[in-house]
Amino acid sequence: MSVTIKTAREIALMRESCARLEKVFDHLASMIRPGISTKTIDMEGERFIRSLGGVPNFLNYEGYPASICTSVNDEVVHGIPSHERILQEGDIISLDAGMIVDGYHSDAARTYAVGEISQEARDLMKVTRESFFVGLAQAKAGNHINDISRAIGEYCESRGYGVVRDLVGHGIGRALHEDPQIPNFAQKMRGPKLVPGMTLAIEPMITTGTWEVEWLDDDWTVVTADGSLAAHYENTILITEGEPEILTLTKGREAEEALYGV
């Protein structure tokens, strides 16, 4: 395992990539409504990323055919946008996207309500998002990766939710996926020690059912095995000498809570 520690220059470049990605999510959030296709969201996402001087890092990554992952209801991650997939009142949709700016990657995900949604769906979105911040509280120099993993898993499982085990968070920098892996559930090993300069993508993937998932025939879309709802929330963060810095959330947690209404 080779964990990269970013220099001050690299951190500055990642801050810029992540700040631009935050603008992409703010823009796409305004599009989420019944009647829109997931392909329309993807096309506008790619256009907007490029308008900000970035390159969509998901497009053609290991063959993925789009710039924005659009995962609806029981789709956990990597849903492929389609003109035929039209959002309906009551759906929830997670958007997962990233971009490259000056050679450095950013990565984030948000789950959105489509119109009025069930209380079950709203609670799932709330707990998934909260679990990220519970894990973030452990993302301090001197702690270990497993401190983050255990905090997220225990928070969600204690509330009756399934924590996906087949997919994990990751390091990020000049590559979209770097070491270390960051599971969302407790491990037997502590994992690497956290040190200032690490940049990580922490991304809880939580379900209202079990943790088990399946891959569809498109070889990308991951769905819950039991058909239960799934939510996804992700930010790129920086380990510092003190509190962790959320690079893809510069507006602050409280401002985003007001935006999401959860």
Interatomic CA distance for residues 92 and 101, integer angstroms: 30
Domain that holds residue 168: 8-260
In terms of Cβ atoms closer than 10 Å to its own Cβ (0-12, 13-18, 19+), residue 196 is middle
Task: Give me the mean pLDDT over the 81-86 stretch.
Answer: 98
pLDDT of residue 256: 77
Strands of 75-77's sheet in order across: 75-77, 222-224, 213-215
Residue type, 39: K
Residue 48, pLDDT above cutoff 80: yes
pLDDT of residue 53: 98
pLDDT in tens, 209-232: 999 999 999 999 999 999 999 999
- Asked, for residue 161, whether it belongs to a domain, the answer is yes
Q: Please state the domain count of the chain.
A: 1
Read off the pTM: 0.96
Task: Give me the mean pLDDT over the 86-90 stretch.
Answer: 98
Whichever domain contains 71, its CATH number is 3.90.230.10
pLDDT in tens, 23-35: 999 999 999 999 9
Lookup result for tokens 């935006």: 259
- Asked, for residue 3, whether it belongs to a domain, the answer is no
- Asked, for residue 187, whether it belongs to a domain, the answer is yes
